[in-house]
Amino acid sequence: MKFKSNVEKQNSRVFETWTQENYICNFTGIVCSTNHEAVKEINLADQQLVGTLPFDLLCSLESLERISLESNIFYGTISDHLRNCTRLQYLDLGGNSFSGKVPDLSSLTQLKYLNMNFSGFGGRFPWKSLRNLTNLTFLSLGDNSFDNTTFPLEILKLKKLYWLYLSNCSIQGHIPNGIGNLTLLENLELSSNYLFGEIPFGISTLTKLRQLELYDNEFTGNLPVGFGNLTGLVNLDASGNRIGGDLSQLRTLTQLESLQLFENDFYGEIPVEFGDFKSLQSLSLYANKLTGSLPQKIGSLSDFMWIDVSENFLTGSIPPDMCKKGKLKMLLLIQNNLSGGIPGNLATCLSLTRLRVQNNSLSGTVPAGIWGLQNLIVLDLAMNQFEGPVTSNIGEAKALQLLLLHKNRFSGELPMRISEDSMLLRIDASFNQFSGQIPVAIVRSKKLISLNLQHNILSGSLKIPPPSTISYLLSDNKLTGEIPLLICQESSLSILDLSNNDMSGTIPPCLGNFSDSFSILNLKGNNFSGTIPQIYTKGNNIRMIDLSQNHLEGQVPRSLANCGVLEVVNFGHNKIEDTFPFWLGDLPQLRVLILSSNKFHGAIGSPKKNGEFPKLHIIDLSYNNFSGVLPLGYFETWSSMKIVDVKLSAYLQANITIEVQGVVWEESYLYSMTMTNKGLKVIYEKILGVFTAVDLSSNKFRGEIPEYIGHLKGLQLLSLSNNNLTGAIPPSLGSLTKLESLDLSQNKLSGEIPQQLTLLTFLAFLDLSHNQLIGPIPRENQFSTFGKASYEGNSALCGVPSSNACASQASTPHLTTETRDGSSGFLDGVDCIVIFMGLGSGMIVGLIIGQNLTTRHHEWFNEKFGMRQRKRKRR
């Protein structure tokens, strides 16, 4: 035997002594025959014993009938010597740390009780050996890492079983209908496997069942016919499947204490009979498709403690007697269509620990007693239409950890008093009408992790939160004054959002560099002045910086080069005077760069090396003084703009997982920005991960638009307006098939509008005004929706919607026009295609694209075109 410690050596010596000495029967846990001649039982359960088991010694005790060693720390493999324990009737090795396979058990024919649950076994279980164990009444093999297997048919021969536990042991496929042969079963647990298909009818015949657990499988279909015959069921859990149908068969299960059917596809109403199940303690039906109202009598049940019917389509009101017997602990009604108010009865429910009614249509004032319930841990009233104040007796809620009030109509001042004994971890009172100052009592709550008071009418100065605070959100209020330097002592702070207030002063040099976990800094829309401090050192975790819409001057701080996980930089609408910060291209995660409306100047130039800005897909440099040609080199490096990444369909955000005292939640911070899109200034409260935009408008760029821009196939917004660009609109823009907004106005562009632009079927906004464009205006696809404003200021354009009529259509296709290099222009390199489109005005638009067009082609075109004209005239 091998040992890891003195304790293990001692354990082994005990076993060896037992088999060699006559006084073995004197040991605790040893039961011998009446004459002390034979050991009948070894019972050392839950003794914290460590080591391996010498089954060669144990099974040499010829009269041994019972071994109970569960809940210890035995490890190693079980030797084949176990087969020598032929008189065993009871073997319990559950809750240990064994490894390897379970040996053959076929010789243990006297076994009635076998428990190897949660013991670390692996490999393939010897299912065939169960054929001989026909005396088994109790079989528990769950929570082991056995190899995948279909439902073992050997189980169906164990007719004496009353207890079968095979949860979480990698069984797959269908449950055979022959399960109904085990007529004595009282407990059947097959949860957390890979079982699928319908629940077999055979289960409906097991009328002695008291506990049935089938959760976390892949069952489909309805409950089997006759399921209502299981009238002795006390616990039913089939949650986490895809079972459908209504719940009508469950009306007869009057002995139920716990009913768990969440995360399925059940529909219809909750049977009113549930309100008569006198033993019912917990009911969980969340994430189904249930309609109708809650049974009115369900809260009157004497033992009822817990209900969760969230994420359904329930209507009506909350039953007035939900806590009539005073035992209700959890009432979870999130995301339904409930209306009315909070029943006054709940204010007297002293046992209540969780009240969650988020995302309904509830209204009215909240009964004052609710705020002060002393055992309440979670109070979630968010996303309803509640109004009125939060009363001062919230100071009596000493157990309160989560207070969620966001998106209601609460008003008045926030309570100035919170219990000093409070366990408050998170407060979200955003999007309400709270006024007054930030209560000092709240920010002094010693364990506060997250405080969100955004979108209220709070005034006064900024209060410093406790050192435990990770997320501090105060945007869109009326706060004034400067940022206190003491905030730099906040060692845990990860998210700080003070945007859209009326704060002023300079940005403290320490801000953002005081915590290794600091991720979000948003000071947008205030009156901050001075320069942006050089505050970031290597190894920081900053992911988003938004200092836009302030009065900041100076240059972009070079310390940003140390921000290896930075995703968003927004310095727009300030007074920054600098050249293009090309060195930001080394940031591997940068997705959004906004420097609009500042005093940036000079040429952007070319990338200094390959691979710059690898993930950038939104850039806004508009309203600056950049000059030179458009940065073709950067167009070539913006690789994230060249593809449509479907994996980025979610919104851009930072997710921070917080776990305190067993309470876990995810703090998600959505990135936001302001950009000009489709001719309007748009505030993006959240940014889709697939959104891709380039805005270089209102600068001093010159030269031609490079053809390569057509490679940025993910672009949805492109604005190059109000520059000094010349030359033709490149036909390659027709490759930007995701483009929704194109603004090339206020330049000196010439030539015709490329017909390829009509391929942009998602285009919702087009502005080509105030250029030097000529020729007919395309009318195919989206172009038929654009009005005069899209083309004004181009006097040589013709056709609808301009007021200029085009010349004879016969001369429209410039088939023989020579270019400067002697070629035949845009017709080169393409096979001949002829397309006619008749328009309501009677005009015929002909498009011919061809190569080496002969005289015969011209004659054919003139003949067909002339014939069509003559026919229309005769009408």
* Percent residues over pLDDT 90 in the chain: 71
Q: What is the pLDDT of residue 676?
A: 87
The band of 815, judged by pLDDT with boundaries at 50, 70 and 90, is: very low
pLDDT category, 817, cuts 50, 70, 90? Answer: very low
Whether pLDDT at 22 is above 60: no
The β-bridge relationship of strands 693-695 and 680-684 is unpaired
Whether the CB-CB separation of 126 and 147 falls below 8 Å is answered with no
What distance lies between CA 152 and its chain's CA centroid? 38
The answer, yes or no, to whether residue 23 has pLDDT greater than 90, is: no
pLDDT of residue 809: 46
Check pLDDT > 50 for residue 10. no
The predicted pLDDT at position 15 comes to 55
Three-class secondary structure assignment of 636-668 = HHCHHHCCCCHHHCCECEEEEEEEECCEEEEEE
pTM: 0.83
CATH 3.80.10.10 boundaries in the chain = 567-806
Instruction: Flag the least confident range among 456-460, 686-690, 723-727.
Output: 686-690
Q: What is the largest CA-CA distance in the chain?
A: 126
pLDDT of residue 645: 61
| Mean pLDDT of all residues in 568-576 | 97
Span of 149-163, 168-182, 660-674 with lowest mean pLDDT: 660-674
User: Residue 423: what pLDDT?
Assistant: 79
Q: Residue 234 pLDDT more than 50?
A: yes
For residue 492, the model assigns a pLDDT of: 84
Residues 743-762: what's their mean pLDDT?
95
Closest by Cα among 569, 764, 578 to 677: 764
**Picking from 205-219, 396-410, 481-495, which range would have the lowest pLDDT averaged per residue?**
481-495
Band of pLDDT at residue 807, cut at 50, 70 and 90: confident
pLDDT of residue 108: 96
Confidence of residue 813 (pLDDT cuts 50, 70, 90): very low
CATH code of the domain occupying 567-806: 3.80.10.10
Q: According to the model, what pLDDT value does residue 832 have?
A: 30
pLDDT at 648: 56
**At 142, is the pLDDT very low, low, confident or very high (cuts 50, 70, 90)?**
very high
Asked whether the predicted pLDDT for residue 8 surpasses 60, the reply is no
Separation of alpha carbons 134 and 161, rounded Å: 9
Answer yes or no: is pLDDT of 435 > 90: yes
**DSSP for residue 391:** P
Does the pLDDT value for residue 846 go beyond 50? no
pLDDT at 302: 86
Identify which has the larger pLDDT, 137 or 486. 137
Q: What's the pLDDT at 845?
A: 30
More confidently predicted of 786 and 17: 786
pLDDT band at 211 (very low <50, low <70, confident <90, very high): very high
The whole-angstrom separation of Cα 407 and Cα 492 is 27
Cβ contact 70:47 at 8 Å:
no
Q: What is the mean pLDDT of residues 183-189?
A: 98
**Is the pLDDT assigned to residue 209 strictly greater than 60?**
yes
Cα distance between residue 785 and residue 766, in whole Å: 10
Place of tokens 């776990």: 659
Instruction: Measure the CA dihedral 242/247/252/257, to 10°.
Output: 60
pLDDT at 358 over 50: yes
Find the mean pLDDT for residues 251-279: 96
pLDDT tens string 312-326: 999 999 999 898 888
To the nearest whole number, what is the mean pLDDT of the chain? 87
Q: What is the pLDDT of residue 662?
A: 67
Beta-carbon contacts of 680 under 8 Å, excluding residues fewer than 6 positions away, are none
* pLDDT tens digits along 438-471: 988 787 778 888 999 999 999 999 999 888 899 9
Tokens linked to 840 = 């309501």
Position 219 pLDDT exceeds 90? yes
pLDDT of residue 649: 61
Mean pLDDT of 572-586: 96
Tell me how crowded residue 63 is: count the other CB atoms within 10 A of its CB.
12
- First-last CA distance in the chain: 108
pLDDT tens readout for residues 522-552: 999 999 999 998 877 777 889 999 999 999 9
Q: Which residue has the higher pLDDT, 841 or 822?
A: 822
